[in-house]
Every structure is written in C-alpha cells, then in structure tokens.
Amino acid sequence: MTLTSLRYNEVMKSDNVDFPISELIRRRKSVRAFTDQLVEQDKLNSLFEATRWAPSSTNEQPWLYIYASKDQTALWNKLFEALNDGNKIWVKDAPLLIVSFARKNFTRFPGPNAHAMYDLGGANAFLALQAVELGLQVRQIAGFNAAKVMENLNVPDLYEPGVFLAVGYPGSPESLPENLKLREAAPRERNSQQVFVMNQVFDNEK
Ligand SMILES: Cc1cc2nc3c(=O)[nH]c(=O)nc-3n(C[C@H](O)[C@H](O)[C@H](O)COP(=O)(O)O)c2cc1C
C-alpha cells in the first residue's frame, strides 16, 4: 500500500454513516485524482468478472464494455475524445477508461429490453465495489457525446452507451486544478433515510 492510499484511507474514515454498512460500500468514493500506475491485467479481469455476477432481468446480462488502458494510446484517445470538456480536465490522466453499453433488445425474446439500462447500472455498481476491494476507485461519467462514442468506436446500433468509467489507484488531489481540488476534499452529502424510505402509502392530503 502506498503512502497516498494510506492517507486516502484515513480521510475515508472520517465519512460518517448513520448505520453500519459493508466496508466496501463505505470506502467507495468517486475520485477524480489517480496515480499514473496502470491497472494490472489480473485486476482488470476481476473488475469485469464482478459484472458477470450481477443480477439482470431474465438473466439477459445486457451489458457490454470497451476499455482502454492509458498505454493503449490510440484506443484510449478514441474514448477520451467523446468526453465533455469539463470531464476531460480530470480524466486526462486516468490510467483506465471504460465505456459501458446496454444491449437494447433481448437476445432470446423478441422486442426491446426495458430493463437493460437498469441492469447495466447494477453491473457497473458491482464493478465499482470490486474496484475498492482491489485498491482501485471508479468515477462514473454521464458527461459525454453519445454520437461520438458510437462513431469513434464503430458501435452497432444494437447498443446504447450508459456511462464512462474512469478507473485507477486513488492519487493526490494536489494534481487537480484548484476548483476540483476543493470539490475533491468537500464533505460528501447524502439524504437521510427519512427522505426516501417509506413504510406507508402516500398521503395525498399533504
Ligand atoms: C450515472 C452517473 C453519472 C455521473 N456523471 C459524472 C460526470 O459526468 N462527471 C463527474 O465528474 N462525475 C460524474 N458522476 C459522479 C457523481 O458526481 C458522484 O457519484 C456523486 O457526486 C456522489 O459521489 P460519490 O460517488 O463519491 O459518493 C456520475 C455518477 C453517476 C452514477
């Protein structure tokens, strides 16, 4: 474990939870700063293995991933070019870029799979938690140009892009521009459970 990741873990300990949760969930954080260490092939395999075991409607497993390691410059750039400028600022040093897709139609039944994007989100969540176990962190990205992704990667119309995932070993926020440095260090805000958990029907009179 590097000094940076030790410090990072200390910071993460200050994140308060209201009730006990899994250590993997507690330690996950969407970081923007990564070290330049590439993600090793065995870890890459584990990340995608985790998605294999995600649940999906009718077990369709409607996800597809295209990844590029930073040392695969041509392919990495094809992914990178499709990002919005605001994301390019911090993604430019990400050692691993992934773009995730949902397959729009069922393969074993006729017609569209209304839950394909939902299932992709679940698979991506599994990937993000597996990353934490491997000492990595993931930041998902919806800020990209979908048409550019399809064109740059020659993707058939059977697929719809979901999110990009920037992956790597957490690095020092000092490497980021000032505004992002501050956002990286800001406390993480969450709704309390009262806001979104109900044990009753809606009360129309309120
Ligand atoms: C679907 C989705 C899209 C996101 N898009 C972006 C994005 O375009 N740029 C970015 O910097 N972060 C993006 N994020 C990261 C969120 O801002 C982050 O998850 C949120 O602030 C909560 O922080 P946490 O993941 O560290 O708990 C996205 C996350 C998700 C799940």
In this prediction, residue 205 carries a pLDDT of 74
Residue 203 lies in a domain: no
Residue 205 lies in a domain: no
In this prediction, residue 204 carries a pLDDT of 83
The pocket around ligand 1, CB under 6 angstroms, is made up of 29-30, 87, 139-143, 163, 188
Residue 112 lies in a domain: yes
Q: Which of 143, 124, 48, 132 is nearest to 86 (CA)?
A: 143
Residue 29 lies in a domain: yes
Choose which residue among 83, 141, 189 to substitute to test ligand 1 binding: the one with the highest number of ligand atoms within 8 A of its C-beta: 141
Residue 40 lies in a domain: yes
Q: How many domains does the chain have?
A: 1
Q: What is the CATH number of the domain that holds 67?
A: 3.40.109.10
| Ligand 1 atom nearest residue 143's Cα | 8
| pLDDT tens sequence for the chain (206 residues) | 333 444 444 444 446 899 999 999 999 999 999 999 999 999 999 999 999 999 999 999 999 999 999 999 999 999 999 999 999 999 999 999 999 999 999 999 999 999 999 999 999 999 999 999 999 999 999 999 999 999 999 999 999 999 999 999 999 999 999 999 999 999 999 999 999 999 999 988 76
In this prediction, residue 160 carries a pLDDT of 98
Nearest CA to ligand 1 atom 31: 140
Parent domain of 134: 3-196
Nearest CA to ligand 1 atom 7: 141
